[in-house]
Structure 1
Amino acid sequence: MSRRPLAALAAGATLTLVLSPALAEAATAAPHVVKYPGKAAPAPKATTFRAVSPRTTNGLTAAITATSSGARSFSYSATASTDTASTITSYTFDFGDGSNTVTNTTGTTSYEYTRAGTYTATVTVKDAAGTTDTATTSVTTTGSDYTPYGPARLLDTRNGTGEGGTPAKIASDTAVKLKIAGNGSIPAGVTAVTVNITPTNEASGGNIIAYADGATRPTTSNVNFGTGQTVAALATVQVGADGYIDLYNDSPGTIDLIADASGYYTHTSASGYTPITTARILDTRNGTGEGGTPAKIASDGTLTLTIEGADGGLLPSTGVTAVALNLTATTETNNGNIIAYPDNTTRPTTSNVNFSANTNIANYAIVPVGADGKIDLYNESYGTTNLIADVSGYFTATGTSSFVPVTPTRSLDTRTIVKGTVYADTAAQDPYLTLSSNNATAYAITATVTNTTGGGDLIIYPAGTSLPSTSNLNWNTGDTVANSFNAIPGPTGIYAYNQSNGTTDVIIDEYGYYTAN
């Protein structure tokens, strides 16, 4: 074929190309199709067109900013939008959750999302010439929803679970780093986790401090223990940006440590929390929750407790995903523990309450609820036990509150207050919790009694309300005991009532709060 260049055409001239017979036939022939045996031919690739706003000609530029005003609330502003060629006449806000748009002339609006999550909000700005321009911003709610999990054992230093398979006690003044995000089916982006923490085989007395990995270790505490004591306490722990939490052994000796997860919080839509006035829904001593017939739980026996519709129907009849309970074992005839888990599921190898014979010991638990609306309470011991369950809240897809974790903070310590010791049948007031959030419906706290001069129990309840007949933690003379609780505040905080025949100091640590959606 000749490769001589074509001569330049004169202005207005026409170039005519004549195809050879072979080329002409090829040009009109059907296209060649490649067939793939057993599969459809691949679809042609789509072409994507990017729309470009003609800002250089119309002068209209949209802008939007978002400011968090609550756990799921944002204030939006498009007042920074400009128009050099005309006058802006309207702003239309689309909040990115499928709700109705809002159009106004002020360029500002507020919106509260019904569920936790990340959303893309869009403003469409229109001017007098009919020109429009859009701007977007991404927002993530502060509040987190709850997803029940397991229960499942994430850490057991006795056998190497959570430590790469190598058993190793935690040394004095040392923290173990525990993976949460990506552990099992717990996803990335988890903001907090509920774990039941159990120290055992201690060489000395002390306490455990749980906190987000990468953060400064706080001066709070979650579990207090004596030498050789096996004791458990639930902790709601903020998770570090790397997906880990730290569990610090604040004692002069080594310890073994167990951590069982029962749920986690994320910014994605899941279950919200509804706090309720604490109510007793199980007491085997008098038949409450057992159809009125008192009956201890037998050795290796299981009690099935109905959650949905409980408390005279105050709990919903359907849709409860988890329940917040204070479990108290009493009048035990042998040592053992209680395992709480969803009904009609395989009993896990976790534990919730560890007890010795003839003790009164309580531990808070957030228990996943079975599909039938029930939970199982298993007595893992060689003896019988009575069991009490006080409900303080529940989780559902329509729950009224979401959780906001905070840096662990000690809000009350009567040891540091002149004449702060709490006398028998007297309440200590903690007004400082109200500083965290004006919209708090409940606070995730750990209450600790120490310097106890008589046995008794502590009752946490809203300031300014009547004393309930339930209790939160039990102790004997000289004990230092901690227990967690989702506490409903009154107008001036919470009360911690010393129901004993002696004095005690009271410590309250805050780990987060629930805020109304």
Structure 2
Amino acid sequence: MKRSIPFRGTVALMALAFVSVAAPLPLAQPVAAADECLCAGGEYHPLTPVRIYDSRPPGINDVAPLGAKPMGPADPTFDIQLLGLGGVPSSATDVLAVAVSITIDGPASAGWLAAYPAGSSGTSSLLNFSARQTVPNLAIVRGGAGGKLTIKINGAGNGTANVLVDVLGWFSSSTYNAGTTDNPSDERGARMVVVNPGRILDTRVGTPTPLGPGAQRTVQFRGANVAGVNVPNDSSVVGALINVTAVAPTAGTFVSVVPNMPVGAPSTSNLNVAAGRIQANLVLVPVGADGAIHLYNSAGNTNVLVDVLAYLQTGAPESTRAGRVVPLTAPYRALDTRLASFGGVPLGPGQAEDWSFAAFAGSVNIGGQAVGNQSALLGNLTNASLSRQYPTVSVEPGYLSVYPADSATVPGISNLNNYESGPVPNMALVKYGANQTVRVFNARGYAHYILDVSAVVLAD
């Protein structure tokens, strides 16, 4: 039986936005680009996750002032090296963008964190956090002056916070030079194949099998054919883009997703979750030689959900554009339902609404020329607030789902889990439906949400 979803009265349309792409990629429309070399432009090179920055003693590539970094209403900033570390090439002409996981740890007060190329400015938040909370998020970032990344930490009050940065992989430019020191094997990267979202692991189903302290779980990725997800069982599938959710751990813990079965605790993490809380994070991870990805839970018992959004596959014809990822010059705020221009009304419990991204997709350009067809966007989705349906009854934790607007039903996945207690961010891959429309569904309470777009996925 189809689920009936109450919709708002009107379909909101995005205003036209002229958004520039940072990539050195051929400018012409796909039909006019046959004679131009797309080469490895916008292709992804997965890396075994590695921590390239940690302000906690003894520190990893820390910068002055050593240790926890200042935060406060004045938005203090600091720069860290991005290019040339963790397997990322050092040449800015080779690297289009870098996929990283950025974590804030133990902030003195509530606030937000932004990350942007050194030498530029940035106002879109990547992380929102409460005092003493540990929050990670995936980001697609570009190196700025000197191959560096600027990190800004806003706080309600003055204090300090620790910051961790893990490198997951990088996207190459069309000028990526094969046969150089940085690319001795003359390898091109992988394309992002966007799928209809589907859940391939839910440890709550049937007899619950939560991960215990120090426990590991193997999840077969190549050949996965569950919940409408069909991943080729082929060695050309080299990476996974998944949304991983930890559900109500019995103790504060971290969850790591790695390509190979870890021996002991991994040196990187993807989720940091307080006891009893539900938290999701988007994860880009290489697929191991066994065709699987591997989960590790640090402490307590926790259920884990894994939702597949895309896979990374090598071997696409050089002349095609499908699956190439190109970042915007700066995050673009595409949605903010708190503003009158987007309706100014929160999305109610069990409600969904559609947004058209046709004008946005048509305006993404390089040097004034449109990049052409697109299948999806990558952006930071933030639940800005969650208010009660009844004043005297608290809202149970809910969730937001974003998916193609022409889907017949709400998919059995979530992008983030929201709370009354404050904003919740999570990077999202948003697949377009017909005419570049997407649907947002809210499970409980009245939710305001924000979407800051950082990259687009091309289509042929």
TM-score interval w.r.t. the shorter chain?
0.7 to 0.9
Matched, 1:327 2:226: no
SS across alignment from 2:219: strand
Higher RCO (C-alpha 8 Å, min separation 6): 2
CA distance in 2, matches of 1:166, 1:479: 30
Matched, 1:441 2:359: no
Matched, 1:370 2:277: no
CA distance in 2, matches of 1:67, 1:446: 27
Q: Would the aligned equivalents of 2:379 and 2:428 in 1 still touch at CA under 8 Å?
A: yes
Q: Would the aligned equivalents of 1:68 and 1:75 in 2 still touch at CA under 8 Å?
A: no
Instruction: Give the TM-score of the pair, scaled to structure 2.
Output: 0.78
1:284 matched residue in structure 2: 203
Q: Would the aligned equivalents of 1:201 and 1:230 in 2 still touch at CA under 8 Å?
A: yes
Q: How many aligned residue pairs are there?
A: 383
1:495 matched residue in structure 2: 439
Q: How do 1:129-278 and structure 2 match up within 5 A?
A: 143-159=41-57, 160-163=59-62, 167-172=66-71, 173-187=75-89, 188=91, 189-217=94-122, 219-240=123-144, 242-251=146-155, 252-253=157-158, 254-267=160-173, 268=176, 269-278=188-197
Matched, 1:468 2:411: yes
CA distance in 2, matches of 1:492, 1:425: 23
Deviation at 1:206, TM superposition (A): 0.8
Deviation at 1:425, TM superposition (A): 1.7
Deviation at 1:345, TM superposition (A): 5.8
SS across alignment from 1:191: strand
Q: Would the aligned equivalents of 2:130 and 2:422 in 1 still touch at CA under 8 Å?
A: no
Instruction: Give the TM-score of the pair, scaled to structure 1.
Output: 0.70
Deviation at 1:74, TM superposition (A): 7.9
Q: Would the aligned equivalents of 2:48 and 2:285 in 1 still touch at CA under 8 Å?
A: no
Matched, 1:431 2:356: yes
Where structure 2 has 5 or more consecutive residues not aligned to the other structure, the ranges are: 1-24, 177-187, 317-321, 365-370, 388-394
What is the CA RMSD across the aligned residues, in angstroms? 2.2
Amino acid at match of 2:448: D
SS across alignment from 1:452: strand
2:454 matched residue in structure 1: 511
Amino acid at match of 1:392: L
1:56 matched residue in structure 2: none
SS across alignment from 2:88: coil
Q: 1:239 to 1:494 in 2, by over 3 A?
A: farther
Q: How do 1:17-96 and structure 2 match up within 5 A?
A: 68-70=27-29, 73=30, 75=32
Q: Would the aligned equivalents of 1:411 and 1:508 in 2 still touch at CA under 8 Å?
A: yes
Candidates 295, 300, 319, aligned match of 2:209:
295
> Looking at CA atoms only, which structure, 1 or 2, has the larger radius of gyration?
1
1:408 matched residue in structure 2: 331
SS across alignment from 2:225: helix
Deviation at 1:203, TM superposition (A): 1.0
CA distance in 2, matches of 1:342, 1:263: 13
Q: Would the aligned equivalents of 1:279 and 1:311 in 2 still touch at CA under 8 Å?
A: no
Deviation at 1:164, TM superposition (A): 5.0
Amino acid at match of 2:339: T
| Mean CA deviation greater in 199-208 or 411-420 | 411-420
Deviation at 1:460, TM superposition (A): 0.7
Amino acid at match of 1:397: T
2:219 matched residue in structure 1: 305
Alpha-carbon displacement from aligned partner over 1:81-127 (angstroms, at most 9, x marks no partner): xxxxxxxxxxxxxxxxxxxxxxxxxxxxx4465x634xxxxxxxxxx
Q: Would the aligned equivalents of 2:51 and 2:267 in 1 still touch at CA under 8 Å?
A: yes
Q: How do 1:366-405 and structure 2 match up within 5 A?
A: 366-381=284-299, 383-398=300-315, 400-405=322-327
Where structure 1 has 5 or more consecutive residues not aligned to the other structure, the ranges are: 1-65, 77-109, 118-142, 288-292
